[in-house]
Structure 1
Amino acid sequence: MSNKLSLCIPVHNTEGFFSECLLSLQNQNLSNCSLKQSDIEIVIINDCSTGKDSIGRDCKKIVKDFKRQNKFRINYIVHYNKKALLETRRELVFESHSPLIMMVDSDDLLEPDYISVLYNIISTTDSDIVQGGARSFKMENGEKVFIKQNRAGTVYNGELRGNDILKSWAVDRTSSAFLWAKVIKKELYLKAFDQLLYSDCTVADDLPLYFFLALFAKKYIGTSQNVYLYRNNSGITSTPVVNSMEQWERICSMASGFSNLVLWINNKTEEDGKSPIADDVRAGIQMMFLKHLHTSVLQLRNFVAPEIKDEAREMLYDYWGESFVLKMEQQVIAEEEKKNQTAQNNSTISR
């Protein structure tokens, strides 16, 4: 392979942020590692993106201007039919020409030492996964305001091997499934995708994929040094109000990723006569499953537009199973009633 590292970037209507993302890539400090810009490939998939940046440039024009100013190798691909994000990531990996992969979301930013820190660790330790720290921010009056929250991901600061890699994420929650802020061997990605069936998962797409990455990885190293800036409230689930069935379907699609994962675990258990994962890992994944369904039910009850609510409920049934959704709705109603009762009791006491 002629390239040493591939940065894989999916773009869908994020042109307003994309040029800033590429600028943070242009400003990488490579003096602390053995890489030059020409050693680095940037794989960009324009997934039916129709956005424009502040000066009216579309995705193709932004990439063209960036290419003119830099020596990075650019592999630019256009989708004329929209794909699920998980499948776009699959294509990004297949289209890359390097042994190492970094996933970057097109609305986020990279710290100046993002590449050098992660590349130096993985190239000197023969790790399968290297993860760095991340900070979450939002823009207020043109300035970055950093947010203290778990959304930016949790990093295990040190080395993990074998089964402890999966356990750290699924059970101990000492590492995150986010694909950004990581450099991962391409061969590990290919092995994971070989097990992961086609999915229309666009939300929480990193969870089923990272399950296989963590399952097959032999060595993980994490560093608490911040290398990534996660932009808060810019994704498709950041705005709670749901006004279209297209938007709602993308939210529901997370179920397909979990379904594929559960199907693989059950089939593997039947083939081998034993589960491929420990009981505590299975329980941890089930908790994630329930958490995401819980969030979807809350969105349906409180944020889906009234005119599409009935249709949205039927779609939620289709993706998750009607009985499963009904049980979760009962749980949510009970939680709301308990919360209201507590508030009434506190109000009475305060008088």
Structure 2
Amino acid sequence: MGKQKQMTRDTKVPLSTPLVSVIIPAYNAESTIIRTVRSILLQNYENIEVIVVDDGSTDNTANELKSISGDNQRVRLVTQNNQGVSVARNRGIQDARGEYIVFLDSDDFLEPEFVSVLVSIISSTDSDIAFCSYRWVDERGKSMRLVVPKNDEGLVKEGESVLLSIFEGSMSIWTGSAIYRKAFLSKNHLQFVPGAKNGQDREFIWKAVLKAKRIVGTERILSNYVIRNNSLVKNKDISKAHTLGCIRRIGKYLRSNTRNERILSIFEKRIVPRDYTALVYFFAIRGFDKRKLLEIARNSGYRSQLKRIRLRYAKLSEYLATRALLLAPRATILLFRVVGRRLRKDLLD
């Protein structure tokens, strides 16, 4: 485990007020952008710039933004042709003037103390990253699930220690639950992968965490991740397959940047096979053609990834699902589809 240091300074009030850049990629976000930007403008921390990167929207996103920002000099609208969320975020990083950077999606929102609390703990501990707990909420803001990482309040840890906790499942950092020192991102050439349509957030976070010398967290719930339109079961976007590309890039990055055998082992023997199993599960519960799913499950290259699973590193549920997909792919896919139908029924009741 990495070196750890307990914070001793008061974290309630920032010791200084450095500029914080909040980067929001937006594509056809007219129905959500107001709540998102308002949650930033209502922060109890004044020195903020909001950079909204409109990624070629065809709706009234820009007009909605103007209606809430008015002449507010803290809000900047950057427009570009549609190039995807990664390019939009990278453009925001490029244009950011702040000492610290926050990433937020155009339908998520922050609690009023998010910036002040995270600036306080990241600056007073001279950390590269600070993070908080967060909640999943529905479109009305009703809480669906709390995500509270098992972290000692204010305890500074090295990046490898935090990444290991993430891989073991005891800690979670989401795109909108962290603040980054911009100089740290620049020094380590950390950006989002252009063209990646799924998994790019996790790829960025895991790479950043690995590179960080100092990370600090708070268990306070300060961020809200919005689950929209029953998306857990209705979204049939095949871009989910991009997750596997992200997994391959992460594996290459880990092998080049760490010698921590436990991190490498958990990644290869839990994360990789789990994500390959999860891909078929994702498509199955959304009603994709079962013959195509069976073809995927029987592919030798796909099966070789599933065979990496080890109960020593994986959760029992992950292990059983992966082994079942290996040994009885047809029956397992059918079971996944039944689960999907039940989820739809539960959500519609």
User: What interval of TM-score do these two structures reach, taking the shorter chain for normalisation?
Assistant: 0.7 to 0.9
Would the aligned equivalents of 2:87 and 2:192 in 1 still touch at CA under 8 Å?
no
Gaps of 5+ in 2: 1-16, 308-321, 337-349
1:39-50 equivalences under 5 Å are 39-50=47-58
Residue type of the alignment partner of 1:238: L
Would the aligned equivalents of 1:104 and 1:180 in 2 still touch at CA under 8 Å?
yes
Structure 2 distance, partners of 1:188, 1:124, is: 16
Report the CA distance shift for 1:224/1:167 in structure 2 as closer, same or farther (over 3 A). Answer: same
Report the CA distance shift for 1:216/1:334 in structure 2 as closer, same or farther (over 3 A). Answer: same
Give the secondary-structure state (helix, strand or coil) at the position aligned to 1:200.
coil
How far residue 92 of structure 1 moved from its aligned partner, in angstroms, is 2.1
* 1:14 and 2:29 matched: yes
Using the aligned pairs only, state the percent identity. 18
1:159-170 equivalences under 5 Å are 159-162=155-158, 163-170=160-167
Q: In the alignment, which residue of structure 2 is the partner of 1:285? A: 267
Q: In the alignment, which residue of structure 2 is the partner of 1:271? A: none
1:23-62 equivalences under 5 Å are 23-30=38-45, 36=46, 39-51=47-59, 58-62=60-64
How far residue 199 of structure 1 moved from its aligned partner, in angstroms, is 4.8
Q: In the alignment, which residue of structure 2 is the partner of 1:123? A: 123
Would the aligned equivalents of 1:300 and 1:313 in 2 still touch at CA under 8 Å?
no
Structure 2 distance, partners of 1:92, 1:315, is: 38
How far residue 72 of structure 1 moved from its aligned partner, in angstroms, is 1.0
Q: In the alignment, which residue of structure 2 is the partner of 1:54? A: none
Report the CA distance shift for 1:105/1:63 in structure 2 as closer, same or farther (over 3 A). Answer: same
1:197-346 equivalences under 5 Å are 198-233=193-228, 238-242=232-236, 247-248=237-238, 250-266=239-255, 268=256, 276-286=258-268, 287-306=270-289, 310=292, 321-324=301-304, 329-330=325-326, 333=329, 336=332
TM-score (norm 1): 0.73
How far residue 228 of structure 1 moved from its aligned partner, in angstroms, is 0.9
TM-score (norm 2): 0.74
What is the CA deviation profile of residues 115-138 of structure 1, one whole-angstrom value per residue up to 9, with x for unaligned ones?
111112222221111111212211
Report the CA distance shift for 1:126/1:232 in structure 2 as closer, same or farther (over 3 A). Answer: same
Q: In the alignment, which residue of structure 1 is the partner of 2:172? A: 176
1:56-205 equivalences under 5 Å are 58-68=60-70, 70-74=72-76, 76-83=77-84, 85-139=85-139, 143-149=140-146, 152=147, 154=149, 156=151, 157-162=153-158, 163-171=160-168, 173-194=169-190, 198-205=193-200
How far residue 8 of structure 1 moved from its aligned partner, in angstroms, is 0.7
How far residue 200 of structure 1 moved from its aligned partner, in angstroms, is 2.8
Structure 2 distance, partners of 1:181, 1:197, is: 17
Give the secondary-structure state (helix, strand or coil) at the position aligned to 2:176.
coil
Would the aligned equivalents of 2:21 and 2:50 in 1 still touch at CA under 8 Å?
yes
Give the secondary-structure state (helix, strand or coil) at the position aligned to 2:202.
helix
